[in-house]
Chains A and B, each alone.
Chain A
Amino acid sequence: MVLNSLLFAFIAYGIMMVIAACVAAIIKGIALVVQRGGKRAAAGTDKQEG
């Protein structure tokens, strides 16, 4: 039972790592979208001014 729990703990650790990596990817994805949105908005403003 103790060995099983050790195994389960390591499985849980692995799952947590994968999900943490997904959360990091979500953050990077959002940053990319926000950055592109900002660039488009800036380009739109430049065109209007031009």
Chain B
Amino acid sequence: MLVLQLFQGIYTFFLNEPAIAGGRVLLIALGFLFAYLSYKKILEPLIMLPMGIGMIAVNGGLMMFEAGTMGNLFINPLAGNVEELMYYLQIDFLQPIYTFTFSNGLIACLVFMGIGAITDIDILLAKPYMSLFLAVCAELGTILTLPIAMSMGLLPNEAAAIALVGGADGPMVLYGSIMLARDLFVPITVVAYVYLGVCYAGYPLLVKIIPRRLRAVEMDWRSIPQVAPGAKFAFAVITCGFLCLLFPVAAPLFASFFVGLAIKEAGVLRFVEFLSGPLLYGATFFLGFTLGALLGVDIILNSKVLILLVLGIIALTLSGLGGITGGMIYSKISKEPFNPLVGIAAVSCIPTTAKVAQKCAAAVNKKAMILPFAMGPCVAGVITTAILTGIYISGFAGEMPIFYSIFGS
């Protein structure tokens, strides 16, 4: 046993209760699985690879402290008062990242600035009704998961946080869950990112409910009208102001996305390079790694995690079905040939779902080029998800949640 005390990661297994020791083994194995699937590019490596390594390290690196307590040198998310926080800021190497970028949602905003700087809004501006109609349809999961989650025993704020997974936007889920259900933001965000990775494999199966002849419809991308650069810049600035006026609680998200977009459209190349390169990838790396390091054994021992796993699938499936239904309706009312697969792109996981739509169309007709059309609903989906995030945060969080004002507590 004395020899084992030298290797404290192993030694602490013998000190843990069996359930905790088992949980640690499970999370280490899951970390290895995430790392392997990221290496094979089955899961999104930008997020899931650092997350997997973080999970292995934090669950392996449990050690004894002087007072006989167990802990690690990564993060203590429970550090409450200022004195305790100052102590952990000097000891735990990821604590500064967590304290200064996670607890206020900054990390999600940094990712959003980068996404804004790489987002192409030409199709959204050229075909706004089509894009926004499909995006509204593809929010079905975000809407219906709220009552489903409450019927499964979650509190209203927790139900709203997990419902945001239906929007299929990782940073948005992170921001929303920090604001709505801080205790559950780690499992909710991890569930969101894992399922978004799985979407790439799952949605091609879902779209098979669309008849094959409709999936093969060719769309003429040369018919898309040109959009003036000034119009794109004006859209970014005006829409940002409009949405911030409506939802101050989600204003950091809107401001981050649209400032990136405005900088891109204004052609400030130095900023575009910074936002779309070091900032976006730096923030994404620390997002994944810190989330992994937050995934300690206490997370999976929470009885609500199993419910969150089920609800995540329900939310994304319903959103996918909503998008497909929207695509089918639009193909009926459109005067031009329209491939309903574009509807699945409205589940706003930029650009994954747009790529899925193109992949599925090309699988039945190699000449079908729908990717340019799919990018419009994909970007519109970010806007509709941000609107719903604003409504849910106003409805369930803060000093005066509107939900309780309407229905009572």
Tell me, yes or no, whether B67 is within 8 Å of chain A by CB: no
Max chain B Cβ within 10 angstroms of own Cβ: one of A16, A22, A38: A16
Contact B150–A1 (Cβ < 8 Å) = yes
Interface membership of chain B positions 131-151, coded 1 if the CB is closer than 8 angstroms to chain A and 0 otherwise:
010011001000110110011
What residues on A are CB-neighbors of B407 within 8 Å?
1, 4, 7-8
Contact B124–A13 (Cβ < 8 Å) = no
Contact B234–A8 (Cβ < 8 Å) = no
Tell me, yes or no, whether B2 is within 8 Å of chain A by CB: no
Contact A16–B384 (Cβ < 8 Å) = yes
Interface membership of chain B positions 375-409, coded 1 if the CB is closer than 8 angstroms to chain A and 0 otherwise:
00000100110011001100100000001001100
What residues on B are CB-neighbors of A38 within 8 Å?
228
Minimum CB–CB distance from B313 to chain A (whole Å) comes to 18
Count CB-based A-B contacts (< 8 Å): 92
**Nearest CB to that of B154 among chain A residues?**
A5
The CA of A17 and the CA of B391, in the complex, are separated in Å by 12
Task: List the one stretch of B94-102, B106-114, B202-210, B235-243 in contact with chain A.
Answer: B235-243
What residues on A are CB-neighbors of B132 within 8 Å?
20-21, 23-24
Interface size on B, residues (CB 8 A): 39
The CA of A17 and the CA of B132, in the complex, are separated in Å by 9
Interface membership of chain A positions 12-37, coded 1 if the CB is closer than 8 angstroms to chain B and 0 otherwise:
11011101111110111011011001
Contact A30–B238 (Cβ < 8 Å) = yes
Tell me, yes or no, whether B231 is within 8 Å of chain A by CB: yes
Contact A16–B146 (Cβ < 8 Å) = no
What residues on B are CB-neighbors of A1 within 8 Å?
150, 156, 407
**Nearest CB to that of A28 among chain B residues?**
B128
* Partner pick for B238 among A6, A9, A26, A37, CB 8 A cutoff: A26
Contact A24–B147 (Cβ < 8 Å) = no
**Known contacts A2-B151, A5-B147; A16 and B230 CB within 8 A of each other:** no
What residues on B are CB-neighbors of A3 within 8 Å?
147
Majority SS at the chain B contact face: helix
The CA of A38 and the CA of B231, in the complex, are separated in Å by 11
* Partner pick for A13 among B135, B143, B235, B238, CB 8 A cutoff: B143
Contact A22–B387 (Cβ < 8 Å) = no
Max chain B Cβ within 10 angstroms of own Cβ: one of A9, A24, A26, A28: A9
**Nearest CB to that of B131 among chain A residues?**
A24
The CA of A23 and the CA of B246, in the complex, are separated in Å by 12
* Partner pick for A9 among B146, B227, B228, B234, CB 8 A cutoff: B146
The CA of A21 and the CA of B239, in the complex, are separated in Å by 12
Contact B146–A26 (Cβ < 8 Å) = no
Contact B230–A34 (Cβ < 8 Å) = yes
* Partner pick for B231 among A5, A9, A15, A31, CB 8 A cutoff: A31
Tell me, yes or no, whether B129 is within 8 Å of chain A by CB: yes
* Partner pick for B136 among A6, A20, A31, A33, CB 8 A cutoff: A20
Tell me, yes or no, whether B159 is within 8 Å of chain A by CB: yes
- List 21 A–B pairs whose Cβ atoms lie within 8 Å, in order of A's numbering: A1-B156, A2-B151, A3-B147, A4-B407, A5-B403, A6-B146, A8-B406, A9-B147, A12-B392, A15-B391, A16-B139, A16-B388, A19-B243, A20-B384, A21-B132, A23-B239, A24-B128, A24-B132, A27-B124, A27-B235, A28-B128
- Which residues of chain A have a CB within 8 Å of any CB of chain B? 1-10, 12-13, 15-17, 19-24, 26-28, 30-31, 33-34, 37-38
- Which residues of chain B have a CB within 8 Å of any CB of chain A? 124-125, 128-129, 132, 135-136, 139, 143-144, 146-147, 150-151, 156, 159, 163, 227-228, 230-231, 234-235, 238-239, 242-243, 246, 380, 383-384, 387-388, 391-392, 395, 403, 406-407
